[in-house]
Amino acid sequence: MVKIYDTTLRDGAQSEDVAFSLEDMVRVTLKLDELGVHYIEGGWPGSNPRDAAYFDKIKKYRLASARTAAFGSTRRAGVRADEDSNLLSLVEAITPAVTIFGKSWNLHVKEALKVSLEENLDMIHSSVSFLKANVPEVFYDAEHFFDGYKSNPAYAIKTLKAAHDAGADCLVLCDTNGGTLSWEIERIINEVKAELSAPLGIHCHNDSELAVANSLAAVNLGAEQVQGTINGYGERCGNANLCSIIPALQLKMGLEGIPTDRLCKLREISRFVAEIANLRHYKHQPYVGDSAFAHKAGMHVNAVLKARETYEHTRPEAVGNVQRILVSDLAGKSNIIRKASEYGIDLTHNTPEVKNILKTLKDMENQGYQYEGADASFELLIKKATGRHKKFFELEGYRVIVEWYEAKRETISEATIRVWVGEDKFEYTAAMGNGPVNALDNALRKAVLKHFPELSGVRLLDYKVRVLNAGEGTTAKVRVLIESGDDTGKWGTVGVSENVIEASWEALVDSIEYRLLKEGD
């Protein structure tokens, strides 16, 4: 078994276009736990309040398989390990595992840390030793190891031995600059193994487009832990992409990284993380991209319909993807049937509703809807198509006012709403909010709360807007993704319109209707 160590929330968040909120971090953690990764690196508690808050909040959830890991560095020069604020914050995070990085490259020791080579070795040893006395598992990331080894092999080995002698559970060899070639990785790892008998891990960056290849090469030589991020998010050109590494390990190398029955969740989670990161999912991504198993050329289509292996290197269903025949798209029904079964709805390929749902889904996606981060809206779509939906209220109209108060130097938002509940109950209410969407949300729930008291605990937890056709300027269509939740759980809904308030209203209504339908299930 190869241990999968996910660092999306820390290394992935260092990507130029990624910024996770605290709620985002929790949602991603729960999805990664569903996938079955072994470790989830939640961030650096000593560097910012959000990461520290994450470790406090995630303790409220019981993870099924994953262990959280806090990240930090070795102690500062001239400071005792048990007095170093960074190391103390790692212990205070109270996580099952901690990962710290230290310098392996003599250039960094002299130019970045400005300490002697011997002092750096002591910083590594004393830091790992202190953490090992207080944390169940300690992993040592040998930063810039491969560059350091090429510069000074003997010293790079000494840094590993310092961590190993102090009790590190795994020594993770890092290609931090991402410039090492695969045959260099293989040569250096073989030389390390000749010098040191210790569990090894691999952490690669993608600056030479080799992060996945280098990670797999290391595993092939015995690395027991492989680090990476979902979709390869990360600083500069990104990190090793776990969405390629995990299936390669399991489908190509015969090694288990996650439980085999969860591999089919990989595409779903890839798209989920992209949506939460507010990024467009890369359609040409191997294994999980929309185009990974898409066929267009006539000769290819003719062949693949007779024998899939003619132009497909593995089964798309294994990773949750589907085969697509472009122009006349024959794929998609299986996904509908599988999702419907999750909602307790039995459909088959011959059920008339399946074709209608698929057509509706394609029409909606063409308008800009995406359901990867909005499962609640998709469940409503299926229930409407199969006659299992119940309309709880009918909108007559709403109005949203945003006013600037110069005296208070603040903006006030107010929403009024007119709805029919049932056939004869009319509600006309108003509510304030810290923004137009929050005001509209408050007004809607105020209008229906007396009829549906189960909504009292529902809260709007997160709100994202993405411009879909930026070239249209202020007339561009937007997609609104809303996360709501209460003590029963969390759910995501989506709305699309040229008007951000209308798109928000659509997502809000889905959120309320979903909760009410769940009450009746």
Q: DSSP secondary structure string, 400-460? A: EEEEEETTTTEEEEEEEEEEEETTTEEEEEEEEESSHHHHHHHHHHHHHHTT-GGGGG-EE
pLDDT at 125: 98
Residue 78, phi-psi category: left (phi > 0), alpha (psi -120 to 50), beta (remainder)? left
State the pLDDT at residue 163: 98
pLDDT confidence of 471, banded at 50, 70, 90?
Answer: low
Predicted structure pTM score? 0.74
Report the alpha-carbon distance of residue 105 to residue 155 in Å, rounded: 8
State the chain's mean pLDDT as an integer.
91
The structure tokens 């949750």 sit at: 320
Taking CA atoms, 362 is separated from 114, 170, 287, 336, in Å, by 59, 47, 21, 12
Q: Determine the 3-state secondary structure of 60 from DSSP.
A: coil
Inform me whether the pLDDT recorded for 327 exceeds 50.
no
CA neighbours within 13 Å on the CB side: how many for 276?
A: 31
* pLDDT for residue 330: 37
**Confidence bin at 231 (pLDDT 50/70/90):** very high
Residues in the chain, how many?
521
- Predicted pLDDT of residue 328: 30
Q: Which domains, from first to last, does the chain contain?
A: 3-276 (3.20.20.70), 393-520 (3.30.160.270)
* Residue 168, pLDDT score: 98
- Point out the least confidently predicted range of 303-307, 392-396, 418-422, 505-509: 303-307
Per-residue pLDDT tens over the stretch 103-149 = 999 999 999 899 999 999 999 999 999 999 999 999 999 999 999 99
Which position has the higher pLDDT, 157 or 294? Answer: 157
Phi, psi for residue 182 in degrees, rounded to 5: -60, -40
Question: 182-195 vs 153-165: helix axis angle to the nearest 10?
Answer: 60
Q: What does the pLDDT look like over 79-114, one tens digit per residue?
A: 999 999 999 999 999 999 999 999 999 999 999 899
**Under a CB-based contact definition with an 8 Å cutoff, are residues 188 and 157 in contact?**
no
* Number of other CB atoms surrounding residue 384 within 10 Å: 15
Instruction: Find the DSSP H helices in 14-152.
Output: 22-35, 49-58, 85-92, 106-108, 117-132, 145-151
- pLDDT of residue 194 exceeding 50: yes
Query: Which of 190-204, 256-270, 456-470, 492-506 shows the lowest mean pLDDT across its residues?
Result: 456-470
Of 120, 140, 123, 16, nearest in space to 71 by CA: 140
Q: Which residue, chain included where needed, has tokens 């779903």?
A: 268
Residue 70 pLDDT = 98
Residue 446 burial class via C-beta count within 10 angstroms: exposed 0-12, middle 13-18, buried 19 and up: middle
Which of 163-167, 424-428, 511-515 has maximum average pLDDT?
Answer: 163-167
Burial environment of residue 438 by CB neighbours within 10 A (0 to 12, 13 to 18, 19 or more): middle
The arithmetic mean of pLDDT across residues 228-232, rounded, is: 98
Q: Higher model confidence: residue 412 or residue 317?
A: 317
Per-residue pLDDT, 355: 85
Across residues 147-173, what is the average pLDDT? 98
